Structure 1
C-alpha cells in the first residue's frame, strides 16, 4: 500500500514555540509509520522554514524548558497555486515531494490564528484543523466571546482595551464592574501566555503591561468561581465530543508552566467526576460552541462549571497541545480513541474537507 505523505509543520514565531516542538515530537512518535510517510518542517523563531531529519530535528528533546529546534541548512518555501511543487528548496528552487496532507501543529500567533491556514489554502494543501475564518475568530478571545454570547452560550463578563486607548484604563472602574480578583489576558494568545490573576491596583497595572507586551488588544475578565472542565471535539459536519476532563490546579491558576512544564502544577481528573446529565450538557455546549465558531477537524472547549450548575465557555482552542500531558489526546484516549488513531482520524478529516471544497465551482460560466 502506498503511504500517505504527511507534512508536520511545527515551531513558529510565537511565544508558544517550545510547546509546538513538544507537540510535534509526540505526534512524530505516535503516528502510524506503516500508513504515513512523514516530512518534518520546522519554523524557527525568526520565521524561516527548515526541512528537518527525523533523527535530529530537536535539541534537548526530553527537557521542556530547554527544548529547541535544530535548524537545518535546507530552507523551504511554499509556492501558491502549484499542482506538483507545493514546496521548494529555497537554495536551488527544486521541488519537494508533493504532500498529501499537512498537520500544522504551530500553536499561537501566526500558527493558529488563520495566517498559516491561509498560506496552506493558497498552496492547495489539505491541512488538519479549522480553516482561516474559524482559526482567526477563536484566536481572538474578544470576538469569539461576542459570537458565543450571541448564540446564547454563557461567557464571563469582561472589558476590552486596545493599545490606542490603554491610557484610559482605570483599575477602579474595572473592579467596580467585574469585582476582584480579575483575569487580564492578551486577546490573541494561547496556553495562558501573558495571563495574570490580579487583586490589587499594583497587580492590575503590572498585568496590563505584561499583556500588552504580547498583544495590542487586552481582555479583562471577571473571575468565575467554579470547576475547570475541558472537552475535546472532533469532526467536520457531524462533530462528536469526548468525555470531559477536569483541571485541578495546584498553583494560583492553570498557567503556562502548569500546562507544559511542571507535571505537578496541576492534577488532571480524566474523566471528570460529574453526574451523567452534567456530562451530556457539557458535551452539548462544547459541540454548540464548536459549530457557532465554524470549527472543523478539532478543538478543545474549556469551561467553568459553577456550584449552581451554570456552564461558562472560557475559551475554544483550535490547535490544542499534543504534548504527553495535554488534555486533548488524553480525553480521546479515555473516550476510546488511541493517540495514534486520533492522529489518523484528524488527517482523514482534513483530506475529506479538502475533497469537499475542491468540488466547489470557481468559474461563472461552464466551458
Structure 2
C-alpha cells in the first residue's frame, strides 16, 4: 500500500494555531498637570516594546477624563521643541472596559455606530503621572475590574503620591527624611500665623510644594518669609494641601527600583545624579526637566564612594518595601557633604521615556529599555489582583 501524503496545512490554519500575543493596553494622558509627561512616557514605551511578543493597544485619557483610542505613533506623543503633546480625542471613539462572562475586553463606542472590539486585555500598563492615575484611583478601578496591571497597588500608589503620608510611613520605618511641615487649606485660611511660624521653625530656604503632584509642578523655593503666601498660592493651584520642606544642602541622587521576580527581593540600580546649572534654574523645576535640558546634566552612574552607593541602594529598596510598592519606583535622595543619605520621595510611576532617569539608571546597570519593559509586564502577568 502506497504511503498517503500528509494533509497540507494552509497559511490560515497555521495562523489560527499560532498562540495569541499578550495584549497590553497602554494607558496615558490623564487629568493631572502631568498629562503631557505621561504622553511622552507613552512615546518611549511605544517605540521600545517588543511587538513580536506583545500586541499593544494605546488608550489615551483626555484632560476631561474621556478614554479614547490613541494613535500608535511615538512621534505623535513625544515632546519636540518645547511642544507638549496632548490627548484630545479628536476623530477617535471612546473606549470602555467591558466585563462579561469573565472576559476583560476593550470596546470602542462611537455615536451612531455598532461598538467595535479592540480585544481581550491581558494586562494594563498605566503610564499615568500625578493625581487621577498614579495615586491609586486607576489602580482601584483595575482591581475592581479584575485586570492585571503594571506597578504599585492602590495603597502604595496613594501613599507614594501624597508626600505628607509618604514621609509619615518612612519615618515609621526608621528611614531618614528631612524636616517638613504640612499646610492644610483650612489651616492656611484660619490659622495662618501658626502656619507661618511652623515654616519659620524649619529655617530658610524652604521648598513649598503641592502635597500630591509631581514633575516639579507648583514648587517654589522661598528665601524670605514675605514670599511664602505667593508660594503657597502657587502650590494650591495644583493641590489644596501643601507641604513645606527644609532646604537640604546636598547632591540630588536618584535610584531605580525594580520589583522582584518569583518571590525574590526588589532590585536597585546603580544611582544617578542630577546636576542643575543654578545660573539658569534655582532648582530642578519643570522647565529644567522637560524644556531646557541644556542646563541639566544627568550622570549615570553617579560618581559616589562605594559605601555611599551601597547605602543609597539599600535605602531605595527599604523605601520601596516600606510603602508596599510593586513593579517599579524611583527613589530620590540627598547625599549631604558629610555623606548622610536622606530620602526625599518615592515615585511609584516615574518618567519612562528612554531619556528619563529610571531607564537610564537601569541601562547603566546592564538592563536595556526593552528588557526592562518586558520584566515589568511579566511581573504584572504573574501577580494576582485583589488582596495579596
Match of 1:53 among 48, 55, 71: 71
The question of 1:224 aligning with 2:248 is answered: yes
Q: Distance in 2 between matches of 1:83 and 1:158?
A: 47
The alpha carbon displacement at 1:94 in A equals 4.8
Structure 2 counterpart of 1:316: 346
1:1-367 residue pairs with structure 2 within 5 A?
1-55=19-73, 58=76, 62-69=80-87, 71=89, 72-79=91-98, 83-91=102-110, 92-167=114-189, 168-170=191-193, 172-236=196-260, 237=263, 238-250=265-277, 251-354=281-384, 357=385
- Measured in 1, the distance between the counterparts of 2:85 and 2:56 equals 21
Give the CA deviation at 1:204: 1.2
Rounded to whole Å, the distance in 1 between the matches of 2:215 and 2:137 is: 18
Q: Say if 1:79 and 1:57 are closer, same or farther in 2 by CA, change over 3 A.
A: farther
Across the two proteins, how many residue pairs are aligned to each other? 358
Tell me how far apart the structure 2 counterparts of residues 223 and 332 of structure 1 sit (CA, whole Å): 29
Distance in structure 1 (CA, Å) of the matches to 2:101 and 2:253? 43
Alpha-carbon shift at residue 80 of structure 1 (Å): 5.3
Following TM superposition, by how much is the alpha carbon of 1:55 offset from its aligned partner in structure 2, in angstroms?
Answer: 4.3
Question: 1:223 and 1:55, CA in 2 relative to 1: closer, same or farther beyond 3 A?
Answer: closer
Higher Cα Rg: structure 1 or 2? 2
Look up the match of 2:5: none
**Does structure 2 conserve the Cα–Cα contact (< 8 Å) formed by 1:263 and 1:325?**
no
Greater shift after overlay, 250-259 or 26-35?
A: 250-259
Asked if the contact 2:39–2:78 (Cα under 8 Å) also holds between the matched residues in 1, the reply is: no
Distance 1:156 1:50, change over 3 A: same
Q: What CA distance in whole angstroms lies between the structure 1 residues aligned with 2:33 and 2:353?
A: 16
TM-score (normalizing by structure 1): 0.92
Partner Cα distance (1:193, 1:252) in 2: 14
Does structure 1 retain, via aligned residues, the 8 Å contact 2:146–2:386? no
Q: Distance in 2 between matches of 1:203 and 1:38?
A: 48
Other structure's SS at 2:237 match: helix
Q: CA contact under 8 A between 2:30 and 2:65: conserved in structure 1? A: yes
Taking the aligned partners of 1:111 and 1:359, their CA distance within structure 2 comes to: 20
Show CA shifts across 1:310-359 (max 9, x none). Answer: 111101000000124310000000000000110001101111112xx579
Query: Match of 1:34, SS?
Result: coil
8 Å contact kept, 1:81–1:124: no
Structure 2 Cα separation of the partners of residues 17 and 228 of structure 1: 25
For the Cα contact (< 8 Å) 1:131–1:295, is it kept in 2?
yes
Contact 2:39-2:77 at 8 Å conserved across structures? no
Instruction: Name the counterpart of 2:6.
Output: none
